[in-house]
A and B are shown apart, each in its own frame.
Chain A
Amino acid sequence: MKIKVIVTLKNGVLDPQGKAIQQTLNGMGFSSVNEVRQGKFFEVDVNEKDEAKAKIKVEDMCKKLLANLVIENFEIL
């Protein structure tokens, strides 16, 4: 079963890449862009048939490796 995870920077944490992307978009003429925040997307294929069980496993993976909870949040889709 494939479980999808999005990891994003917490509010208030500086995102220099997002800032550069925003400035580039503004420079290209997308003047309505106020802010861009960059994150990560993971697709984890877990050998598990029960979705709830698979998500519990992936949550543990997020806490231990996929996200750094000092600066990042994760969301299991």
Chain B
Amino acid sequence: MNSSVIIFPGSNCDRDMDVALKKFGFKNEMVWHDDEQLPKSDLIVLPGGFSYGDYLRCGSIAGKSKIIKSVVDFAAKGGLVLGICNGFQILTETGLLPGVLQQNKNIEFICKNVFVKVNNKNNKYFNSIDKDVLELHIAHNEGNYFCTNDELKMLEDNNLIAVSYCNEKGEVNEKSNPNGALQNIAGIFNKEKNILGMMPHPERMIDKYLSGEDGSIFFKNLINNIK
């Protein structure tokens, strides 16, 4: 299975993602944002970081990069596109996913482990995953998901809220919402569920001694679903 990680100026989770993808069997290539062509890929990843220093709005300038046109074409053909953290912000700024990631409600950069509930397993990312609640890491200043009422209704009606912030027991409530995100939204799909954007970082949870392995579960499951 082939994957590609796009590097933007200011990406900083690109190499962690490369390590994670390779650890679970992907043949990964790093792709520079100024390239126009994507290598043959089964999965494209937009990694976390601070592309273009978060100037203007997070992800807005990266969303106009040369490579993005190829990513949009790849997604339109049903290709899997995963955006983590800044990658999620880039996906909303390109219009591949609805809504926007605003500044955290408490105006603090949040860096901690959180639990997220997997809401929909009928897709390549979570099909057959044997856990309903994953412990993952978040590190962001703009993770406060917001969209219009119509967009929220569309997400709910089509079961496109991929993961929601919750507590250890899987209860989704205000107390388990770290950043003020609408309906505790931590990640969403597009309608076809080939595009997933989420704030938590599975690539930071792949070592049983350092971090816990719920990210490992995510990647093992993903590559099995693509095979």
Contacts and interface: CB of A to CB of B under 8 A. Distances in A.
B148 interface: yes
Contacts, number: 32
Interface string A1-18: 000000000000110110
B102 A65 contact: no
Interface string B35-71: 0000000000000000000001100100010000000
Interface in A22-72: 65-66, 68, 70-71
Interface residues of B, number: 19
B15 interface: no
A32 B180 CA distance: 28
Contacts of B147: 70
B106 to A, nearest CB: 7
Interface in B77-119: 93, 98-100, 102-107
Given A65-B64, A68-B57, A14 B100 contact: no
B54 to A, nearest CB: 13
Contact of A71 (B56, B64, B146): B146
Nearest to A66: B56
A71 B100 contact: yes
A20 interface: yes
20 contacts: A14-B102, A14-B105, A14-B146, A16-B103, A16-B105, A16-B107, A17-B107, A20-B107, A65-B60, A65-B64, A66-B56, A68-B57, A68-B93, A68-B100, A70-B98, A70-B99, A70-B146, A70-B148, A71-B102, A71-B146
| 7 smallest beta-carbon distances between A and B, as pairs | A16-B107, A70-B100, A16-B103, A71-B100, A68-B100, A20-B107, A68-B57
Given A65-B60, A68-B100, 11 more contacts: A14-B105, A14-B144, A14-B146, A14-B180, A16-B106, A17-B103, A66-B56, A70-B100, A70-B147, A71-B100, A71-B146
